[in-house]
């Protein structure tokens, strides 16, 4: 198969980039794979990409950020999408040209706004798959309405959890569009797993309010009081760094809690620890949970929507605690800190159970999905009711801008008259 991925900025750092690179590299064992990056801001990607995967940028911000077309607002990329401010008339133009000229069997979008472009401009011969790396309920109502108008033109939507897949089926109601969970994949680390002897709790992620590192620091104060030889190391960058630093000082934890900055790859840091902690109010999947488990660490996590509860088996390979519950979080950490055998057993279970997120397993699911969608397209089974209505009404490619503007129904009615 010829497979193309469409991504926001392959040259930055983030979970979507990591999992897309992982999946693309694994697929490259048997397929012709390309990643199309809408934006480029540096010479080489920050994350290593399999050399067999081609990388094609569309807009190079190093040279084109002041192009008049890039200073004009986007009209296809939904204005309600989180990244709208980074899109423009120039990205609309380049995306349209790249997609309409694409020679691929399968095209995969990796964020809602790009999935809209994919729905409108990908060749009719290509299977169109829209990935969902966030969650439907996390999107504002205006964005959900824009997706509801465009998504009937997709062949499949692949949320990263079964829970979000169920939400999509119940709330979006897209007849003929397949909704199937496709989790993120994490390769086996190159290093030996953690040996559970390091007296370190490790956390990683953007230093942003949703990650609730303030809650983790507060809960860890109970650990430091009882076991002063234990440390908490938090990896990441973000706007919460100074408030978190002030909290550490206020609680007198400057000898126990450390803001380590960003680290890539993280596996060398995970294996130094004995416990991982995730305290988010919301996690669409939980890449750091899987990364830590792949390194042999049990994970103490808030049981937030949607990912942690599907990844962690509570009491077997980690612990799940109520969102925002400082005392429950402190208690779960203390249980693992004080019991070496429990910590070792959960670490072994975490290492074993996390294998289901290895690239080979996830890629097999992706291949099966792509092959079934291709087979259905060849047999003419992918024309949904909505697409039939648009086709029979004379709705043409020149009208796709109307979908982004939310005027599909009026356009179809006008064409029938």
Look at residue 343 in the predicted model and tell me its pLDDT.
Answer: 97
Look at residue 381 in the predicted model and tell me its pLDDT.
Answer: 60
- Report angle CA 299, 300, 304 to the nearest 5 degrees: 110
**Helix ranges restricted to H, 354-407:** 359-378, 385-392, 400-405
Residue ranges per structural domain of the chain: 2-185+360-416, 200-356
Look at residue 401 in the predicted model and tell me its pLDDT.
Answer: 38
Q: How many CA atoms lie within 13 A of 406 on its CB side?
A: 10
Cα–Cα separations (whole angstroms), residue 82 to 79, 138, 140: 8, 11, 9
Report how far residue 93's alpha carbon sits from residue 229's, in angstroms, rounded to the nearest whole number.
57
**Which token pair is 388?**
């039939």
Report how far residue 343's alpha carbon sits from residue 353's, in angstroms, rounded to the nearest whole number.
15
Rg (CA), the chain: 23
In the chain (417 residues long), the average pLDDT of successive 10-residue segments reads 97 89 94 98 93 97 96 96 96 96 96 96 94 94 96 96 95 93 91 94 95 98 98 95 97 97 91 97 92 97 94 97 98 97 97 94 95 89 39 32 35 35
C-beta of residue 385 within 8 angstroms of C-beta of residue 176: yes
Is the CATH number of domain 2-185+360-416 3.40.50.2000? yes
Report how far residue 328's alpha carbon sits from residue 219's, in angstroms, rounded to the nearest whole number.
9
User: Rounded to two decimals, what is the model's pTM?
Assistant: 0.83
CATH number of the structural domain 200-356: 3.40.50.2000
Domains 2-185+360-416 and 200-356 share a fold: yes
Q: What phi-psi label fits residue 3: left (phi over 0), alpha (psi between -120 and 50 degrees) or beta?
A: beta
């Amino acid at each position: 198969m010829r497979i193309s991925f469409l991504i926001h900025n392959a040259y930055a750092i983030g979970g979507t980039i990591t999992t897309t690179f992982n999946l693309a590299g694994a697929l490259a064992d048997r397929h012709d794979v390309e990643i199309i990056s809408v934006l480029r801001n540096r010479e080489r990607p920050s994350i290593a990409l399999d050399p067999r995967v081609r990388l094609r940028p569309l807009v190079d911000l190093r040279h084109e950020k002041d192009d008049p077309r890039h200073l004009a607002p986007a009209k296809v990329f939904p204005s309600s999408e989180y990244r709208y401010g980074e899109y423009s008339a120039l990205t609309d133009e380049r995306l349209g040209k790249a997609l309409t000229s694409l020679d691929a069997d399968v095209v995969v979008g990796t964020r809602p706004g790009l999935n809209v472009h994919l729905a409108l401009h990908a060749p009719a011969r290509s299977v169109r798959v829209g990935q969902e790396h966030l969650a439907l309920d996390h999107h504002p109502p205006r964005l959900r309405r824009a997706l509801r108008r465009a998504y009937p033109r997709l062949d499949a939507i692949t949320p990263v959890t079964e829970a979000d897949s169920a939400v999509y089926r119940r709330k979006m109601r897209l007849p003929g569009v397949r909704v199937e969970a496709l989790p993120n994949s994490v390769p086996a680390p190159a290093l030996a797993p953690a040996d559970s002897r390091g007296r370190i709790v490790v956390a990683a992620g953007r230093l942003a309010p949703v990650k609730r590192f303030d809650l983790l620091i507060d809960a860890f104060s109970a650990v430091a009081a009882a076991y002063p030889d234990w440390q908490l190391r938090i990896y990441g960058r973000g706007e919460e760094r100074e408030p978190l630093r002030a909290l550490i000082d206020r609680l007198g934890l400057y000898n126990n809690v450390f803001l380590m900055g960003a680290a890539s790859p993280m596996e060398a840091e995970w294996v130094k620890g004995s416990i991982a902690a995730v305290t988010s109010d919301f996690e669409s999947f939980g890449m750091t949970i899987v990364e830590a488990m792949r390194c042999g660490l049990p994970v103490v996590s808030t049981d937030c929507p949607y990912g942690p509860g599907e990844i962690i088996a509570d009491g077997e390979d980690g612990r799940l605690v109520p969102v925002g519950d400082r005392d429950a979080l402190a208690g779960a950490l203390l249980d693992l800190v004080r019991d070496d055998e429990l910590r070792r057993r959960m670490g072994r279970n975490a290492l074993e159970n996390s294998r289901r997120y290895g690239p080979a397993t996830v890629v097999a699911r992706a291949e099966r999905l792509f092959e079934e969608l291709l087979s259905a397209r060849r047999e003419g089974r992918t024309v949904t009711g909505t697409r039939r209505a648009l086709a029979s009404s004379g709705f043409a490619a020149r009208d796709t801008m109307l979908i982004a503007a939310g005027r599909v129904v009026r356009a179809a009615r006008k064409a029938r008259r």
